[in-house]
Amino acid sequence: MSLDPVLDLDALDLSRRLAAGEISAEALMAATLERIAEVNGAINAIVSLRDADDLLAEARAADAAPRKGWLHGIPMAVKDLVQTAGIRTTMGSPIYAETVPVADEGLARRLRAAGAILIGKTNVPEFGLGSHSINPVFGPTRTPYDVTRSAGGSSGGAGAALAARMVAVADGSDMMGSLRNPAGWNNVYGFRPTWGVVRSDPLGDTFLHPLSTNGAMARSPADIAALLMTLADNDPRLPFGRAPQEYLQGIDADIAGRRIGWLGDWGGALAMEPGILPLVEQALTVFARLGCTVEPVSPPFSADEMWESWRVLRHFAVASRLKPLFDDPGTRALLPPKAIWEIEGGIGLSAFDVQAASEIRSRWFARAATLFDRFDALVLPSAQMWPFPAEWDWPKAIGGVAMDTYHRWMQVVVPASLIGLPAISVPAGFGDQGLPMGMQLIGRAGSDAALLQLAQGYHQATRWTDRKPPF
């Protein structure tokens, strides 16, 4: 199987060549569709692919039209949790298997406004629950580095499509590591921005649930910075917003002198499969070579308290979103057990339970702020285990330690998610079985641009994403 060299380019390189007329949007679309036809059957990353003739016609129209923005003529597949006009949006659920929205939500509107051609969707778990992109509508998504293994999730389709060179840049969302876990398992970058940088539309409640955010995935931090500038929104109808920064300009800053704290397995509180911690420790030596200070950090907060806070607040958030489906007997019968568990957990909460969980969150935020007086970034692995067999629903144990919920094996992402901190997963390399792993760089709230600089310096020193999958 040969790869068209144009598909190996980063999105910013594609943008420059399209603008200069060195390549056409039609040729890029043709190469993209050919690549999808060759490899997507084994990976199952892109779903609800639009008609090829329609896409080629849209690409020709882009070639003939004035440039809308930096994504002009670039094919993109949007995560299948995002409403897209004219493109099936299933959320991985049989309830919505045939749903075709009549309007875009804000993220898709911003992509189209920047010139992107939306070719279809990227696969997800049902309702985005869990970090394995498997659902009864489309089946599982597999990492292209070993198609017997999971690509992670919930942005697993996006991560796998990037790694397999079916797209150059992708959106994603992250509540519980959904941008970071699949980035690590597909040898790409996934960035969860500070909560409030990229926001959803002003629909329903906009005050109570600051756990999930949209973000960006790519094969380079520079592409993530460019996409983040497109996705960032300062809609005055939404509370708690953060003004967009200039994420791309200055991304190549010298990172010498930056201070990095290594949290490891949180003092033994987080079960880890063999090989993960040594791999990340080896990756951290790159920062030391670049002039950064790297030092271990003792557990700064109780992992058990954080988990209790997370469990309650996630119950609250998921139940608030999915309870209407639970209340209808017809749709309740089609909900997966993990959704029912979350909803029933949320229904059983009192206001005082939520308040107590938020007080834990508040104490962790205050404690984390003192850490960032000492460090520019904190580091954890992106996942606690290597990509697992794609036919699993979720891992039941890590190294003999039982996982008591469908998402307990993802606990390593909670420290950033619980308090809305920015976190970028960067490739850490490959284990003995050739499987990829990542590490999270976590920063102070609002330090998105500085984190992207750290990631860019690391990227230029390692170029891990140049190591392509075996087809």
Distance CA 419, CA 140 (A): 30
Task: Determine which one of 178, 220, 309, 417 is catalytic.
Answer: 178
- CA–CA distance, 225 with 236 (Å, rounded to integer): 23
**Euclidean distance between CA atoms 134 and 152, whole angstroms:** 9
- 4, 34 Cβ separation under 8 angstroms: yes
With beta carbons less than 8 A apart as the criterion, state whether 381 and 437 touch: yes
Active site residue 382: no
DSSP string, 321-332: HHHHHHHSHHHH
Instruction: Give the CA count within 13 Å in the CB-facing half-sphere of 423.
Output: 33
46-47 sheet: strands from edge to edge: 46-47, 117-122, 75-79
Considering only CA atoms, give the Rg of the chain. 21
Cα gap 224→309, rounded to integer Å: 30
CB neighbours of residue 359 within 10 Å: 11
**CA nearest to 305, candidates 269, 268, 352, 341:** 269
Q: What is the Cα–Cα distance from 403 to 311, expressed in whole angstroms?
A: 14
Of 425, 423, 427, 436, residue with least CA distance to 460: 427
| Beta strand pairing call for 423-430 and 189-192 | antiparallel
Does residue 59 contact residue 65 with C-beta atoms inside 8 Å? no
Catalytic: which of 15, 154, 173, 212?
Answer: 154
What contacts 64, CB < 8 A, 6 or more positions away?
none
Compute φ and ψ for 150, nearest 5 degrees.
Answer: -65, 150
Which residue among 15, 48, 79, 93 is the active-site one?
79
Where are the extended beta strands (E) located within 4-113? 46-47, 75-79
The region that residue 4 occupies, defined by phi over 0 for left and psi between -120 and 50 for alpha, beta otherwise, is beta
122 phi, psi to nearest 5 deg: -110, 145
Tell me whether residue 468 is one of the annotated catalytic residues.
no
Residue 350 known to be catalytic: no
CA–CA separation, 223 vs 13, rounded Å? 9
DSSP-derived pairing of the beta strands 259-262 and 377-381: parallel
Closest CA to 46 of 309, 55, 16: 55
Question: Which residues have a catalytic role annotated?
Answer: 79, 154, 178
